[in-house]
Chains A and B, each alone.
Chain A
Amino acid sequence: MISLKQVSKRYPGNLEALRDLNLDISTGEAVLLTGRSGAGKTTLLKLVSAIEMPSAGEIMVNGQSITRLRRSQIPYLRRSIGIVFQDQKLLFDSDVLTNVTLPLHICGQSRSVAMKRARAALDRVGLLERERSLPVALSGGERQRLCIARAIVNRPSLLLVDEPTANLDPDYAKAIIDLFRSFHQAGVTVVIATHDIEVINRFPLRQIHLDQGRLLNHTGPTTY
């Protein structure tokens, strides 16, 4: 599903966020992307979703080479990926339902289909009765679940999740981790970037551990 070959990312200012990265994530796999803050986790997710371009190396996603993708094809790649952003990126002027129908409108779904599928996604994350609320009226955990609903509403085969449990109480965190587990069991490839020990402990998966932009260990399932 995802393959990186000798990938480096240098941001303007000459800071090398990722250095000579090689890794593979197979279809249907769920992995944790770990490492302390500033290690390059978010950068890696941005490269996979073509939000940033690598400075060197080759990235394949779903059989497509990101580096050779034409600019006009990038939107279509992104539609096949569900992303939960670290900074949420919700529409704060729009209600919950509108936030979730947005990806469907973008894909050209009719209004009625969009409504139906958005409600199904909200039901999946347990937010159906909040569909008319504004995001500011939601609790931290509910807002995170809203982000997840928006990410899965297009039924993507790949889910990229950035720090899903940041600023959440452990109880909320558990519910969210269980959600990802269920998506994984349904066959979705899931990549979760986190530095939350709670997540790492509850989700015994292969870890991709980054340290200052380098891959440290590339091991199988570990338990802490």
Chain B
Amino acid sequence: MLNWISQHWHTFWQTLGRLVRAPISTLLAILVMGTTLCLPAGLYLMLHSLNRLQGVIHENPQVTIFMKILSNSSDIQQVNGLLNQDTEVKDYKFIPKNEALKSLAQRSGITDLLAGLPSNPLPDAFVVRLKNSTPENIAYFKNSVLNWPSVDSVQYDAIWAQRLAALISLGRNFIILISVLLAFTVSVIIGNTIRLQIASRQAEIEVSILIGATRRFIRRPFLYFGALQGLASGLIAWGILQLCLMAINVKISAFSNLYGSIFILHSFSPSAIAVLLAGSSVAGWLGAIFGTSYAIKNI
């Protein structure tokens, strides 16, 4: 058993050495594969960030209920009571029209103009947060609120949220598809480099088989080589994307006062890195299996 481990360890180091001393063509292949893997991994990052954004919307889904301009305090009391009773409501806040006007005046700097108005044009409003804020739930809540007395309108970008959710699930499928396709591409590229390597070491392999090497023994270093090549490609993809993220986020942070931090692109989680590296290694390993079984059969 120990002997077996030391054998594999030996092969592993030998292979690593071979990779380090690899010809430029192999290094270029790794670079190409790394860049290729940037596509699904980068799409994943964007999706991941959108997902977080969706999470933020879900956590703070604000539904605004605008009262009719002419509603009086008893109407407001009534809506207040209805909101109080509604089990779907997590919490809510009343924003009287005076306050809304004051805030508008402060933000817009058109105090004089507003002061010149004969009456306050803004309605009273309630800002409501729901316990369960799936798009369906919000739509349902909106419809019921519209039937309440003195309610003028209810505002919530339900359609936008639904589109985001649909986009994310579409994107997820797209990423799975494109990852499988590109992993296959990586397998084929690695399989081919290994086929060429075997061809260049044909004499050595032939001799080894003649003096008692099993096909498994012949294959082993090439399988390691394939997996290491895949792993290196994954690392390169990770590195490239990490650099891109840093560059993009520096730009975004300049606007962060306007939009808040939710638009920052998030970097890979440890599990996503693990999936990327494991996936690229497995793709390399599989490519090596194809490459070796094709090439060694002919010896």
Q: Which A residues between 75 and 103 are near B, CB-CB below 8 angstroms?
A: 75-79, 83, 85, 89-94, 102-103
List of B residues within 8 angstroms of A72 by Cβ: 214
Q: How far, in angstroms, from A17 to B186 measured CA to CA in the complex?
A: 47
Partner of A83, one of B3, B211, B214: B211
B203 at the interface (CB under 8 A from A): yes
B217 touches A106 (CB 8 A): yes
Q: How far, in angstroms, from A37 to B242 measured CA to CA in the complex?
A: 68
A175 at the interface (CB under 8 A from B): no
- The 8 A CB mask of B200-218 against A (1 = contact, 0 = none) is 0001101111111110010
B4 at the interface (CB under 8 A from A): yes
B6 at the interface (CB under 8 A from A): yes
Q: How far, in angstroms, from A77 to B214 measured CA to CA in the complex?
A: 11
Least CB distance, A73 to chain B, in whole angstroms: 10
A91 touches B204 (CB 8 A): yes
A51 at the interface (CB under 8 A from B): yes
Q: How far, in angstroms, from A49 to B206 measured CA to CA in the complex?
A: 15
List of B residues within 8 angstroms of A75 by Cβ: 209, 212-214
Which one of A107-115, A122-130, A204-212 contacts B?
A107-115
A78 touches B3 (CB 8 A): no
- The 8 A CB mask of B111-133 against A (1 = contact, 0 = none) is 00000000000000000000000
B213 touches A89 (CB 8 A): no
**Who on chain B is nearest to A109 by CB?**
B3
**Who on chain A is nearest to B201 by CB?**
A93
B7 touches A108 (CB 8 A): yes
Least CB distance, B210 to chain A, in whole angstroms: 6
List of B residues within 8 angstroms of A107 by Cβ: 212
Given A106-B217, A111-B10, A89 and B212 touching (CB < 8 A)? no
- The 8 A CB mask of B213-230 against A (1 = contact, 0 = none) is 110010000000000000
Given A89-B206, A91-B203, A108-B4, A102 and B10 touching (CB < 8 A)? no
B204 touches A106 (CB 8 A): no
**Who on chain A is nearest to B217 by CB?**
A106
**Who on chain A is nearest to B206 by CB?**
A89
Partner of A103, one of B6, B10, B212: B212
Least CB distance, A140 to chain B, in whole angstroms: 19
Interface centre among A72, A76, A94, A102 (most CB of B within 10 A): A102
**Who on chain B is nearest to A51 by CB?**
B210
Least CB distance, A160 to chain B, in whole angstroms: 11
Least CB distance, B38 to chain A, in whole angstroms: 37
A91 touches B207 (CB 8 A): yes
A106 touches B4 (CB 8 A): no
Q: How far, in angstroms, from A97 to B260 measured CA to CA in the complex?
A: 67
A76 touches B7 (CB 8 A): no
**Who on chain B is nearest to A107 by CB?**
B212
B214 touches A78 (CB 8 A): no
B211 touches A78 (CB 8 A): yes
Least CB distance, A178 to chain B, in whole angstroms: 24
**Who on chain B is nearest to A94 by CB?**
B204
**Who on chain B is nearest to A89 by CB?**
B207
Partner of A106, one of B3, B203, B206, B212: B212
Partner of B210, one of A76, A83, A110, A111: A83
List of A residues within 8 angstroms of B206 by Cβ: 89
- The 8 A CB mask of A139-177 against B (1 = contact, 0 = none) is 000000000001000000000000000000000000000
- The 8 A CB mask of A10-33 against B (1 = contact, 0 = none) is 000000000000000000000000
**Who on chain A is nearest to B209 by CB?**
A75
Q: Which B residues between 1 and 23 are near A, CB-CB below 8 angstroms?
A: 3-4, 6-7, 10
> Lowest 9 CB-CB distances: which A-B pairs, in order?
A79-B212, A78-B212, A106-B213, A75-B214, A75-B212, A89-B207, A103-B211, A91-B204, A106-B212
A residues apposed to B, CB below 8 Å: 49, 51, 72, 75-79, 83, 85, 89-94, 102-103, 106-108, 110-111, 150
Can you name 16 A-B pairs with beta carbons within 8 Å?
A75-B212, A75-B214, A83-B210, A89-B207, A89-B210, A90-B207, A91-B207, A93-B204, A94-B204, A102-B208, A103-B211, A106-B212, A107-B212, A108-B4, A110-B6, A111-B10
Given contacts A102-B207, A106-B212, A106-B217, 6 further A-B contacts (CB under 8 A): A49-B210, A75-B214, A78-B210, A92-B203, A108-B3, A110-B3
